[in-house]
């Protein structure tokens, strides 16, 4: 008998569809990422682990615009299945290369969001891609970002494996992918989306500050770390942010949860 595919392709909504709430949350994240113009055509990818070890995960189908993705469209993949790209309805190979590697090796990365958002990508294109703490949003990421300075082309499997080696520090939740974009990880869709949103805002503040040509008012390491810790421990902010985003989609009659 031939091996059975471990990919769940687009499926009608039924009471028995697996991981339904996770699908709904991830679909909402796609819709808002498109609305905020943080995506890039059909080229970016989000994933969410659904088992204890983190190796089984949901991900967007190959080359579907974020503004159209529904909960029932999401693929269910197994990071340990080397034959994944040979199955019908296989994911984008660069998405598989990057997200599959992260979910194999980084169990702390329950949710992974990779985008080429404008200001994060501008930051990734600078010779010095560090994000100094010049305000509350930039301070949020103090000592919590890793910079990949070895861009090796599209994120097929070898490049994906290389990138995951930079995520060993559990404190690191953002990878500035030099010459490429940004990857954000977190413990849930709400946590990760909130971090992605604020990283883009922080990058925008920094880039616009540089454009003035005037000296920057950089926070001390002590205050930057204090601010980052206070934001990390602020009760429920990411969840409240994401809950309201879903409520707005619901009020508009969006079909993201179909």
User: Could you tell me if residue 11 is inside a domain?
Assistant: no
Residue 7: pLDDT band with limits 50, 70, 90:
very low
Q: What is the DSSP string of 141-206?
A: TTT-EEEE----SS--HHHHHHHHGGG-STT--EEEETTTEEEEEESSHHHHHHHHHHHHHHHHHH
pTM over 0.75: yes
**Total number of domains in the chain:** 1
User: Could you tell me if residue 88 is inside a domain?
Assistant: yes
User: Could you tell me if residue 6 is inside a domain?
Assistant: no
Are 138 and 131 spatial neighbours (Cβ–Cβ below 8 Å)?
yes
pLDDT at 95 over 60: yes
User: Could you tell me if residue 1 is inside a domain?
Assistant: no
User: Could you tell me if residue 4 is inside a domain?
Assistant: no
165-207 pLDDT, tens digit per residue, is: 999 999 999 999 999 999 999 999 999 999 999 999 999 999 9
Q: Domain limits at 158?
A: 20-251
User: Could you tell me if residue 2 is inside a domain?
Assistant: no
When mean pLDDT is compared across 27-31, 120-124, 159-163, 236-240, the lowest value belongs to: 159-163
Please, what is the average pLDDT of the chain?
A: 92
Q: What is the CATH number of the domain that holds 203?
A: 3.40.225.10
Residue 155: pLDDT band with limits 50, 70, 90:
low
User: Could you tell me if residue 13 is inside a domain?
Assistant: no
CA angle 97, 98, 99 (to 5 degrees): 105
User: Could you tell me if residue 107 is inside a domain?
Assistant: yes
Residue 158: pLDDT band with limits 50, 70, 90:
confident
Which of 239, 251, 129 shows the shortest CA–CA distance to 195?
Answer: 239
């Amino acid at each position: 008998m031939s091996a059975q595919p471990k990919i769940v392709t687009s499926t009608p909504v039924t009471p028995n569809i697996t991981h339904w709430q996770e699908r709904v949350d991830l679909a909402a994240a796609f819709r808002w990422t498109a609305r905020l113009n943080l995506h890039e055509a059909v080229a970016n990818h989000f994933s969410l682990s659904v088992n204890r070890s983190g190796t089984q995960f949901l991900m967007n189908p190959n080359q579907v615009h974020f503004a159209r993705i529904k909960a029932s469209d999401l693929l269910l993949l197994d990071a340990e299945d080397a034959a994944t790209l040979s199955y019908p309805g296989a994911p984008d190979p660069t998405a598989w290369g990057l997200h599959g590697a992260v979910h194999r090796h980084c169990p702390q990365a329950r949710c992974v969001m990779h985008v080429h958002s404008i200001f994060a990508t501008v930051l990734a294109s600078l010779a010095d891609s560090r994000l100094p703490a010049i305000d509350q949003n930039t301070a949020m990421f103090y000592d919590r970002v890793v910079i990949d300075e070895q861009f090796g082309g599209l994120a097929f499997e070898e490049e994906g494996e290389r990138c995951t080696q930079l995520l060993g520090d559990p404190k690191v939740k953002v990878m500035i992918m030099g010459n490429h974009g940004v990857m954000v990880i977190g413990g849930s869709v709400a946590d990760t989306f909130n971090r992605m949103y604020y990283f883009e805002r922080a990058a925008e503040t920094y880039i616009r500050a540089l454009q003035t040509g005037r000296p920057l008012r950089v926070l001390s390491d002590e205050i930057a770390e204090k601010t980052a810790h206070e934001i990390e421990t602020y009760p429920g902010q990411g969840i409240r942010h994401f809950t309201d985003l879903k409520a707005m989609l619901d009020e508009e009659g969006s079909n993201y949860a179909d």
